[in-house]
Structures are given as structure tokens and as C-alpha cells.
Amino acid sequence: MTAAESNAPDLNRHALHVRLQSADTALRAGLNQPCGETLVRAHIERALAHIREAETALHNLARARTVEQLAEQLARIDEMREEVRSQEVAITTSSIRI
């Protein structure tokens, strides 16, 4: 095995890391766009979470969650956010009546 062949896996990992960072940067720039569509923003945020998890897997596979685990946890977070929003609306509505 040549020196170049032994370095190939590290170079491939580095190249993948650079691509993930580029994708992260592009998506974050998209979050700052005045789109206004909550569905678009939700998809961008979900994509960012998947990119961060891919970076975790790239650096430490044992710490990474499966795609299914990540999706389930993100869904639970979305549910909790919606519950908090509905409670805030209920509090705001009741305080307006007072």
C-alpha cells in the first residue's frame, strides 16, 4: 500500500466534512432570507439538524443517532413547541379578557 492509498480514507473524510460545512453554511444563509414561509423554514431547520448529526457520525460514530431516532426526537421537539405556543395563546387570550 502506498502512502497516498493509506491517506485516502482521511482525505475522503476531510472532503465530506468540507461538503457538510458548505451545506450548513448555505442552509443557514437560507434561514436569513425573508421567505416568511414557516414550512420552508421548518424544512431548512430539519436539514440543518441532519447535517449536524452527519458531522457527529463522521467524527464519532458511536455518538450519532440513527436517522429514525433523530426524526423522532425532532418530531417530539416540534410537538413540545406547538404545546408551548398553544399555552402562550391561551394565556394571552385570557389576559386580554381581564
User: Would you say residue 44 has pLDDT above 70?
Assistant: yes
The Cα 54–Cα 20 span in angstroms is 8
The Cα 78–Cα 71 span in angstroms is 10
Q: What pLDDT digit, counting tens, does each position of 75-86 carry?
A: 999 899 899 988
Confirm if 50 and 67 have CB atoms less than 8 A apart: yes
This prediction's pTM = 0.73
The Cα 15–Cα 7 span in angstroms is 12
The Cα 94–Cα 78 span in angstroms is 24
